[in-house]
Chain A
C-alpha cells in the first residue's frame, strides 16, 4: 500500500519550453501533496504544498509563476515548469499524504535536464 507514482521519470527539454510532471497516489486518496527539489548530494527542499481543490502554498523564494502546481483530484497533482532554463535542471520529487495521517509517501522522482 501507499504507492506514489511520477511521470515521466526523466525528461530532457530545450531552454524556453514548458514541462509538466505528474504525481499520482495509486492506492489512497491524497488530500495533500508536496513538491520537492533535490540537488546532487543534498537533501530535499520543499517547493510547495497543495491541497485538493485549493491553490498551492509556495515556500519562500519559489516563483509561483514559474512552477505551476495543480491538485485537481484526490489522486493527481501536476507540476509545470514554465519557460525552463538550465538552472531549473534538477531532481523533482513529489509526496502525498492521506487525510488524517501524518506520513508522506514519496514518488520515485523526475530528473529534469534543460539544455
Chain B
C-alpha cells in the first residue's frame, strides 16, 4: 500500500534556528513529490515539486531535496511568518494524478 509519513508531527523553533522536516514514502512508483504550506483555516499553498532523486528546489528560506525513499524540507534561519503546517504529498505513476498526503508537520517559529 502506498504510504507517506511525515516527521516530526510538530516542531517548535526559535527565530533563526534552522531545521529540517522529513517526508518518507513507500509507493509502487513515484511520479512526483509535492510540498505545500497550509495556514490555519486556509487551503494549501504550493511550494515545490520534485521528480527525481538528487533534485533540489529552493525558495527564499526553504529548500526541498529528494532521495529514493524520502524528501527533506530544510528551513534556514526561519522567521515567525514561516509558522504553518507543511504538507508532503506524492503522486504515483499509476495514480491518475491523485495525491497521497502525509499528516503534515506543524511548525511554530517563536521570536
Contacts and interface: CB of A to CB of B under 8 A. Distances in A.
Interface of A: 2, 4, 6, 32, 34, 42-44, 46, 49, 57, 91, 93, 95, 97, 102-109, 111
B54 interface: no
B87 interface: yes
A43 B101 CA distance: 7
B26 interface: no
Interface string B4-45: 000000000000000000000000000110101000011111
Contacts of A107: 43
Given A42-B103, A111-B41, A105 B97 contact: no
A32 B43 contact: no
A66 B45 CA distance: 28
Given A4-B43, A105-B46, 8 more contacts: A2-B46, A43-B103, A91-B41, A93-B43, A102-B97, A103-B34, A103-B46, A104-B97
Contact of B43 (A43, A97, A109): A109
Contacts of B98: 34, 46, 49
